[in-house]
Structure 1
Amino acid sequence: MFPRKTHQNVQSALESQAAVVLLGPRQVGKTTLALDIASARPSVYLDLEREADRQILSEPDLYLDEQVGKLVILDEVQQMPGLFKSLRGQIDRRRREGFRTGQFLLLGSASNVLLQQSAESLAGRVRYIEMPPLQLAEVGSDHMNTLWLRGGFPDSFLAESDQASMDWRLDFLRTYLERDIPALGPRIPATTLRRFWTMLAHVQGGLLNAAALAEGLGVSGQTIGRYLDLLVDLMLVRRLQPWHENVGKRLVKSPKVYVRDSGVVHALLGLGRTESLLGHPVVGGSWEGFCIEALLAAAPAGTEPYFYRTSAGAELDLVLRLPAGDIWAIEIKRTTAPKVSRGFHTSAEDIKANRKLLVYAGQQDVPVAKDIRALPLDQATRVLSEF
């Protein structure tokens, strides 16, 4: 088991909150992490995808009253939305009995569904933590190219060969399309959603053009929005919003869209080897998305991500507003020759950036200009994690 940053975050949250909701796509390692935490304390674990475990909670208070003093782990908790009202009563009752923290660990793979279900009942009683796929700091910078090619789902990253990794990801896609998504309710043909997902991979990091996607699929723009909302909710796609503050210039208003795991991008496009990836037009967008996910995973909780682009073409790949108010301007390039364009300088001035970075494919920390440094990805994530 890799030492996961999320493990520390969950442990810390359980020490201060009655309930923790751990969000993340399927197969990312949530259950493994939860069972590892459970091994160190009195705990019970229920998987709410299993009918037998759902039956145990048919009268939730009868069962949960017997578990006071234990950590109750409920996996795929969005399967029982009516449970949250009972959890609120349980948390409040336990507080009165002196059990104020570390009572419930709830795991879920549909963020908006789960947030909506829990927000009404557990407001002020719960902390939300998102678990991303494996990150560079967790596997080591020596494995960066493997992580980029295969993505961060543990079974994909640890596969014995690139072909075995690709086979796992193709099975992962098939399971999501044929079982997991229909289980959430949407009646979308698997072949249609697969085509849509693949179209997003082809334009990785591009501005959302709903009209072009709709024309390609033969559906309406409203339907495209519904498909995109679904993949965003499942934490499989990131919708990066444009910087919206008035800087006196005409700004692009469409979001940029990224398939969040680079290995999934490559599986959708049939890119199973590094050589085929490096020769493909998506290589730049894939690297950019890979870096953005790594930077956001390293950023302090509460960091707000954006991109910046004017109608004249000045652009920043990533803008981070940190909780303390600092604004970071970040350019990402798949190059070993670190230099930034005039548009980067102009854009950084527009947003009044406090920190300016170029994340590049080299190995050295290099000054690019008076107040701009070029950093390898592992160093950039380390610098960001220290704030």
Structure 2
Amino acid sequence: MNEMDEYLPRHLTPELQDALATARVVNLVGPRQVGKTTLVRDLFEEGRFVTLDDAAVLAAMEADPEGQLTSLSEEQPDAPVIIDEAQRSPKLALAIKKIVDRNRRKGQFVLTGSSNVFTTAEVADSLAGRMQTLKLWPLTTSEVNRLPVSRLIDWAMQDAPSLPQVSDPAPLGRKDYIDLILMGGYPEIRTLPPRSRQRQYRDYIDAVVDRDVADVMPVRKPDALRFLIDQMASRTAQEINTSELAKLAKLKRETVDQYLDILMRLSMVTKLSAWMPGESKRDIKQPKFHFVDTGIASALRRLNERSFDVGNRPEALGGLLESFIVGELQRALPMQDEDYRLYHWRSADRREIDILIDGGHRLVAIEVKSATTVAADDFKHLKWFANDGPGKGRHTVGLVFYLGQEKLTMGDGNFALPLSTLWTTVDLN
């Protein structure tokens, strides 16, 4: 069996099992082709599976949703009804509410879809307290290598994190990291030869625009949306001024905001809000957007392993590397011990923290460096932020991720870490 055909266990599996044991409805959302259907089929072998991609099944569900769902539930009363591509039927939510209100058994329905159809106020209220929503992202590097979920965030949030707790990372070089960025995290696409892979990723975007967008919201100008997607790929890891983007795309600002919301709901882009300490009035409040999958972003930009060489576009690596790290951290968040949130921070005088993880009374400030060496000067913003800036008074750990191979301590709770520490094991005992 080659890697393309091999099923890779997902770190979200325990969370999905817990959700089924505690909620009447479990809603699993995420981009198409990341493995949602494979995951639920593997996990719930006894469940009753139906897909609304089947036109006949969808028509029957739309005609009599409560009757169809009741019949499916009664066929296997001790197993979940699994409904794939649930966003295709907006009538599902109220029908499910009626059924689970009559029968309070946990784990009655598992819904999967490329977008979360249960986001309107009416629908959200109807299923409040009855449903738990989880998101399945593209593969992490840990999952690809069949390693445990990264616990690096929990490690950094300790009172006194120490480098001996972090296993020696894989000795990867700049080319290895570029390969990971270009491959992306889509199970059936990432291992294809480079040219075929990039063509498949571009076709994937066309399929999303043609099929999935309409499930979220009707779009009058699909070509403008496609243009916006290309722009977001080129601007990954940047603060986005929607007024400027609207002028470039020849759209109203409200339309650009609407389109960005669609892309977020389809898990194509993710937004890091600007972190606000509360007392400061000079911090920049503009959000930073990241393209969720660096493989797709690279394909849309026609980037290959030679694109980052001197004389081509070496500066393009920085943004993609930062988005790659955000993706690895974001996908590990649900499996950490505490509830953490990702932000970015920048002051009006251009001091900047690429990624800021807020754990309440603790902060982890992260800088990303697309070089194989690190120097004390790379920590100047981290140290100022912790000692004299908005992080003063909070327990703040500073991390610089770089493309070298040595774990280094830089004093005062600051560390330089090879990028591959994001998928190495951590001893928290």
Q: Give the TM-score normalised by structure 2.
A: 0.82
Greater share of residues in helix: 1
Q: Work out whether 1:347 is the aligned partner of 2:385.
A: yes
The match for 2:318 is 284
SS in 1 for 2:111: strand
- C-alpha displacement at 1:232, in angstroms? 1.0
Partner of 2:298: 266
Percent of residue pairs bearing the same amino acid type:
29
Alignment of 1:1-387 (within 5 A): 1-39=7-45, 42-57=46-61, 58=64, 59-60=67-68, 61-95=70-104, 100-111=105-116, 113-116=117-120, 118-140=123-145, 144-159=177-192, 161-271=193-303, 273-278=304-309, 279-280=312-313, 281-299=315-333, 300=336, 302-322=339-359, 325-339=361-375, 340-349=378-387, 350-351=390-391, 352-380=394-422
Contact 1:298 1:385 in 2 (8 A): no
CA distance 1:184–1:380, shift in 2 (3 Å): closer
- Equivalent position amino acid for 2:54 in 1: R
* Counterpart Cα distance in 2 of 1:2 and 1:66: 31
For residue 243 of structure 1, give the secondary structure of its aligned residue in structure 2: coil
Are the aligned partners of 1:25 and 1:110 in contact in 2 as well (CA < 8 Å)? yes
The answer (yes or no) to whether the contact 1:298–1:384 under 8 Å persists in 2 is no
Shift in Å, 1:329: 1.0
Q: Does structure 1 conserve the Cα–Cα contact (< 8 Å) formed by 2:85 and 2:114?
A: yes
Equivalent position amino acid for 2:408 in 1? V
* Higher RCO (CA < 8 A, seq sep 6+): 2
Shift in CA distance, 81/70, structure 1 to aligned 2, threshold 3 Å: same
RMSD over equivalenced CA pairs, Å: 2.3
**Structure 2 counterpart of 1:67, one-letter code:** Q
Preserved contact between residue 204 and residue 285 of structure 1 (Cα < 8 Å): yes
Structure 1: unaligned runs, 5 residues or longer: none
Q: 1:199 to 1:275 in 2, by over 3 A?
A: same
Deviates more, 1:307-316 or 1:341-350: 341-350
Q: Within 1, Cα distance between the matches of 2:262 and 2:140?
A: 24
Please tell me the residue identity of whatever aligns with 2:106: T
SS in 2 for 1:328: strand
User: What is the number of residues matched between the two proteins?
Assistant: 377
Deviation at 1:124, TM superposition (A): 1.4
SS at match of 2:42: helix
Letter in 2 for 1:347: F
Alpha-carbon contact 1:203-1:282 (below 8 Å) kept: no
Per-residue deviation at 1:163? 1.2
**Aligned partners of 2:396 and 2:413 also within 8 Å:** no
Q: How many Å apart are 1:263 and its aligned residue?
A: 0.9
Q: Which runs of 5+ in 2 are unaligned?
A: 1-6, 146-169
Q: 1:72 to 1:12 in 2, by over 3 A?
A: same
Alpha-carbon distance in 2 for matches of 1:264, 1:195? 14
Q: Distance in 2 between matches of 1:385 and 1:360?
A: 22
Secondary structure of the 2:225 match is helix
Q: Is 2:361–2:395's contact at 8 Å kept on the other side of the alignment?
A: no
Cα pair distance change 1:382/1:374, threshold 3 Å: same
Of 349-358 and 279-288, the range deviating more from structure 2: 349-358
Write the deviation string for residues 302-322 of structure 1: whole angstroms up to 9, x where unpaired.
321111100001111111113
Tell me the residue number matched to 2:3: none
Inter-partner Cα distance in structure 1 for 2:38 and 2:55: 21
Q: Deviations over 1:169-208 (max 9, x none)?
A: 0110111122322344422433211211111222221111
Per the TM alignment, residue 361 of structure 1 is displaced from its structure 2 partner at its CA by: 1.3
Paired residues of 2:383 and 2:398 also in contact (CA < 8 A): no
Q: Assess if the C-alpha contact under 8 Å between 2:73 and 2:108 holds in 1.
A: no
Deviation digits for residues 190-229 of structure 1 (CA, Å, limit 9, x no counterpart): 3211211111222221111112211111122112111111
Shift of the 189–22 alpha-carbon distance from structure 1 to 2, 3 Å rule, reads same
Question: Residues of 2 paired with 1:285 and 1:364: CA distance?
Answer: 22
